[in-house]
Amino acid sequence: MITVHGLLGAPSDALRTDAARAVLVVGGRRHLEALGVETARSVELGRLTPALDALAALPPDADAVVVASGDPLFYGVVRRIRRAGLAVRVVPAVGSLQAAFAAVAVPWDDALLVSAHGNDPSPALKACRHHPKVGVLTDPITGFPEIVAATAGLGRVYVLAERLGEAEERVRVLDETEAASILDVAQPHVVLVLAHHPDDLDVLGVQDPIAGGIRPWQKDPA
């Protein structure tokens, strides 16, 4: 059985137990180091194809663990694993965007959640320019500086949430001027782009039965 564990911060006891008895553990370098997994039974995530090949080669009764950041069902590895024809059990964790909204006590049911991680960043950056509350998954190519540059002149407020759940966690609330001067941005990080400061009651928005505050029949803004 392949078990996909989400991870934000320290590994849970359940993850440590599953990783200790697994014949193969797949994860990022920092995940594998945190779990103390030996090189002989681990595959470090970079490109996903080698990990999928290793998982597919296991006997049907072998236990394997895949460690993913946050919720592995939200822009995570589960989609690729299942498309490869592999069955999985999922143990989710709090996602990084959920943790970022929680850090500033801002409801996120009316937010747009977008990913610039390994994707064409244009749709994510467009959302930041047009929507009043956006959570962005970043990567080393499209991160905080690129988001700030793409929204320059709009008076946005930024929540820069770095290394969430870790000992080095840092969450900063920045106006446009402050954001433009930031040079020390740690990886990994996520960004909230808001039309209002987290302390402004207008940031709470209005509860709506359709999450994200959009309608699929509405015309996409230019």
Q: Is the Cα dihedral 66, 69, 74, 80 positive or negative?
A: negative
Tokens 């969430």: give the residue. Answer: 164
Q: What are phi and psi of 68, to 5 degrees?
A: -125, 150
From 135, 93, 130, select the one nearest 116 (Cα to Cα).
135
pTM above 0.95, yes or no: no
Written as tens digits, the pLDDT of the chain (222 aa) is 999 999 999 999 999 999 999 999 999 998 999 999 999 999 999 889 999 999 999 999 999 999 999 999 999 999 999 999 999 999 999 999 999 999 999 999 999 999 999 889 999 999 999 999 999 999 999 999 999 999 999 999 999 999 999 999 999 999 999 999 999 999 999 999 999 999 999 999 988 888 887 665 555 554
With contact defined as beta carbons under 8 Å apart, do 188 and 138 qualify? yes
Q: 141 CB contacts (<8 Å, ≥6 apart)?
A: 121
- CATH number of the domain at 96-204, out of 3.40.50.300, 3.40.50.720, 3.30.950.10, 1.20.120.420? 3.30.950.10
Q: 2 CB contacts (<8 Å, ≥6 apart)?
A: 55, 64, 65, 66, 81, 86, 87, 88, 89
CA distance 192 to 64: 34
pLDDT value of position 222: 46
Give the CATH H-level superfamily of domain 2-91. Tetrapyrrole methylase, N-terminal domain (3.40.1010.10)
Would you list the domain boundaries of the chain? 2-91, 96-204
